[in-house]
Amino acid sequence: MTLLSTVDSDKATDIKPTDDLEQLIGSGVSVDAIVPYYNESPASLLVTLRGLSSQSFGLNQVILVDDGSSAPPDLHAILPVVKLKAVQLRLQPNGGISAARNFGAHHSTAKYLLFVNAEIELSPNWVGNAVHFLELNPIAGLACGQVQSSRNGLLTEWRRNYLDLRPDTWIDQTHELEWAVGHAFLMAKAQFEAIGGWDEQFRRAYEDIDFCKRVHANGKKIFQVQGAVSICHARFSLRQLAAKQVRNRRWNLDPRYMGDPALRPLEISPAIKDFNFHSKKRFEASRKAKRWDLVLVETGVFATGYYLLIASSLKRHVALKGNAPISLWLADIPTRFRRKLGRLVQKLRSRRKAEDASKS
C-alpha cells in the first residue's frame, strides 16, 4: 500500500510514498475509533462501520456512543457484518455531540483517537496515512482529510457553493489548516487530554472551531493529509440547509438549549434582517451566473428559513413568557414583514369563511 513518508515538521507539505508503515512507526501504535450518534438509521451507521472495517491499518476497537437516542438503532444485525471489535455505550439523557465524544474518549486505551461522524465513510488508507503523518511530524496535533460528497444533486451543489466555503479542503493534498471540520479526524489521546477534550457547552455548532483553537493554543498545528479521503453520504433537505444557514449566522433555533456559547438567543427582528441580507446576496450570485436552478433552490431555502425562524421564535416566546399575549411576539417582527403576515392571515380567514359559506 502507498503511505506518506517523513517531511519537515515546520512545513509538512512535501510528501513522498513509502511501503513500510510498520517499520517507520514501530510497534505498539493503537487507534480507537469513536462514533457518536443520535437517532441515526442502521444504514447510516453501516456506511461508517464498513469504512472502518476496510482500513489497511487495523483499529484496536470501535467505540459507538448513543447520545440518548429516542429511537435507538438496532445494531445487532450490523456488527456481525462488518466484523469489528466494538463497544456500545449510551449517554442518558442526550448531552450533545461534544459530550458523546468525550464519553467515548474516556473509555479508550489507545494511543490515538479517531473521531468519525455517522454517514462518513473513510477510504481504506485513511487511518494509515493519518497515523503515519502524526508519528513523523511532532508539530502536528491533529490530522484530517478531504471530505467528498456521494451526492451530486442541486441541494449538494448549493451547499458547497454557499455554505461550505472551505476551498482549502476541496483538494486532496497535504497542507496546514486553521481548523478542521469535525466529520473525521485523528489525534493522540495525550494531546486530547492536554487541551481538555471537547467543550460540552458546545452542543449544536462550532464545537470543532473551539476545539481547533485550543489545539493551536497548545502549540500544535492542524493538517489535512493527502490520501485521507472520506465520503459523506448524508442527504440534504431544504430544512437542513436553511437551519445551517441560520446557525452559521450564530442564531439558536432550539429554545431548549439557550446556553450554547456558540449561538445567540434568537431575536426575530435582527435574525430576519440578517437572513434577508445573506439570502439576497446568494440570489444575486446565482442570477448573475444564470443558474436559475440554484435560484429555485435558494427560493426554497428562503421560504423554509422564514418558517423556521418564525416557529422557533414562537417557541421561545412561549418558553420565556408562558401565556403572554401573542401581540408581544408580533411586536418584535419587522413592520413590513408583519404587514405581509397580517395580509396572509386575513386571506386565509377569508378563504375559510367562503368555504364555510359554500358548505352551508
Q: Is residue 4 very low, low, confident or very high in pLDDT (cuts 50, 70, 90)?
A: very low
* Number of C-beta neighbours around residue 347 at 10 A: 10
Task: Quote the pLDDT of residue 48.
Answer: 93
Percent over 90 (pLDDT), the chain: 34
Does this model's pTM top 0.75? yes
Residue 226 or 94, more confident: 226
Q: What cell was used for 44?
A: 447510516
Q: pLDDT of 163-193, one tens digit each?
A: 765 666 778 889 999 988 888 999 999 999 9
Q: What is the DSSP string of 259-303?
A: T-TTSEEP-HHHHHHHHHHHHHHHHHHHHHTT-HHHHHHHHHHHH
Which of 50, 61, 7 has its CA nearest to residue 223?
Answer: 7
Flag whether pLDDT at 13 surpasses 60.
Answer: no
Task: Quote the pLDDT of residue 132.
Answer: 93
> By the 8 A CB rule, do 218 and 196 touch?
no
Task: Quote the pLDDT of residue 8.
Answer: 42
Beta strands in the chain (DSSP E): 3-4, 17-18, 31-37, 61-67, 86-91, 112-116, 120-122, 140-144, 147-149, 175-177, 184-188, 221-224, 230-232, 251-252, 264-265
Flag whether pLDDT at 17 surpasses 60.
Answer: no
Q: Which DSSP category does 331 fall into?
A: T
Task: Quote the pLDDT of residue 25.
Answer: 54
Question: What's the average model confidence in pLDDT over 38-50?
Answer: 90
First to last CA, the chain: 79
Distances (CA, A) of 215 to 30, 205, 336, 337: 21, 18, 46, 44
| Strand order across the beta sheet in which 147-149 lies | 120-122, 230-232, 147-149
Which of 207, 202, 156 has its CA nearest to residue 179?
Answer: 207
Using CB atoms within 10 A of its CB, is residue 30 exposed (0-12), middle (13-18) or buried (19+)?
A: middle
Q: H or E stretch including 327?
A: helix 326-330
Task: Quote the pLDDT of residue 110.
Answer: 95
| Top-level class of domain 3-232 | alpha beta
| Range picked from 71-75, 77-81, 111-115, 343-347 for highest mean pLDDT | 111-115
Lowest mean pLDDT among 101-105, 279-283, 312-316: 312-316
> By the 8 A CB rule, do 281 and 163 touch?
no
Question: What's the average model confidence in pLDDT over 199-213?
Answer: 88
> By the 8 A CB rule, do 4 and 18 touch?
yes
Q: Is residue 106 very low, low, confident or very high in pLDDT (cuts 50, 70, 90)?
A: very high
CA angle, corner 183, sides to 20 and 248, nearest 5? Answer: 150
Domain ranges for the chain, please list them: 3-232, 238-359
Question: What's the average model confidence in pLDDT over 40-67?
Answer: 92
